[in-house]
A and B are shown apart, each in its own frame.
Chain A
Amino acid sequence: MSGRLAYPLNVLALYALSVVLGVAFYDQFVNGALPCPLCILQRAGFVAVGAGLVLNVMRGPAARHYGLMILGALAGGAVALRQVALHVVPGTGAYGPPFFGYHFYTWAFIVFVAVILGSAVMLAAFREGAEGARRTGFATLAVALFFVMALANGVSTLAECGTSLCPDDPSSYEGYEALMDFMGGQN
């Protein structure tokens, strides 16, 4: 596969990951569903995959970048599979409402598997030394959007968990509340 075809596919995949993280944010802030620790780590897996895509978009497709994407998808997929296994037995409940028939962690596992399959196909069809396409504004916007998503997730996680590990069943933005308490105590 030439760099000219790989390039738009990487850009589109980066937009798709921004949509995935956007849907998670919508559920968090509009539906008021605080993400659990495993949910947060699945988002971290998406950020790792997206950072690999950014490398492909900005520096041209390379085997090393696809390798990083696969490693990120394996890490995120392991977290998602753990959460699926926690709730797979009938009567063990679920975390959050279903979304188009599946819970978010099941969707996350499906997306991570798709990333691994997609990367494998790109690696198999990838021609070493193929020239990358010229960078477009559409691609720069994809990178900027994903950067904002990664940063926003970091800030949101800091607000929810503070500087330590998250509680298993979070009920409030503990980090934000601790900061407000600290600032209130200073006055």
Chain B
Amino acid sequence: MMSIPFFAGAIAILATWTGIRGPLSAWLVFLTIVATLVLFAFHATDSLDIAL
């Protein structure tokens, strides 16, 4: 599951490189970002130990 952003990014690069027309590459980059944020939410559950 943690590898999804990397493979989405790699496919986006490949789609751009091979000249696939349309917004597919941009949407795949966007998917990379969304997947990163979703996985971040799964891993940022503990409260920070900072007393101000």
Binding site for B on A (CB under 8 A): 37-38, 40-41, 43-45, 47-48, 50-52, 54-55, 58-59, 64-65, 68, 71-72, 75-76, 78-79, 82, 85-86, 88-89, 92, 143-144, 146-147, 150-151, 153-155, 157-158, 160-161, 163-166, 168
Knowing A82-B44, A143-B17, A164-B1, say if A50 contacts B33 (CB, 8 Å): no
Tell me the bound Cα distance from A109 to B12 in angstroms. Answer: 24
> Is A51 within 8 A of B1, CB to CB?
no
Q: Which of A40, A55, A146 contacts B25 (CB 8 A)?
A: A55
> Interface residue tally of chain B, by bracket?
20 to 34
> Is B10 within 8 A of A154, CB to CB?
yes
Dominant secondary structure of chain B at its interface with chain A: helix
> Is A50 within 8 A of B9, CB to CB?
yes
- Measured CB to CB, the closest approach of chain A to B27, in angstroms, equals 10
Tell me the bound Cα distance from A52 to B14 in angstroms. Answer: 12
Tell me the bound Cα distance from A146 to B35 in angstroms. Answer: 19
> Is B9 within 8 A of A41, CB to CB?
no
> Is B40 within 8 A of A154, CB to CB?
no
Q: List 29 A-B contacts (CB under 8 A).
A: A37-B43, A41-B39, A44-B35, A44-B36, A47-B9, A47-B10, A51-B12, A51-B32, A54-B12, A54-B13, A54-B16, A58-B17, A58-B19, A71-B30, A79-B36, A82-B40, A85-B48, A143-B17, A144-B17, A151-B10, A153-B3, A154-B3, A154-B10, A155-B3, A157-B3, A157-B6, A165-B39, A166-B2, A166-B43
> Is A47 within 8 A of B50, CB to CB?
no
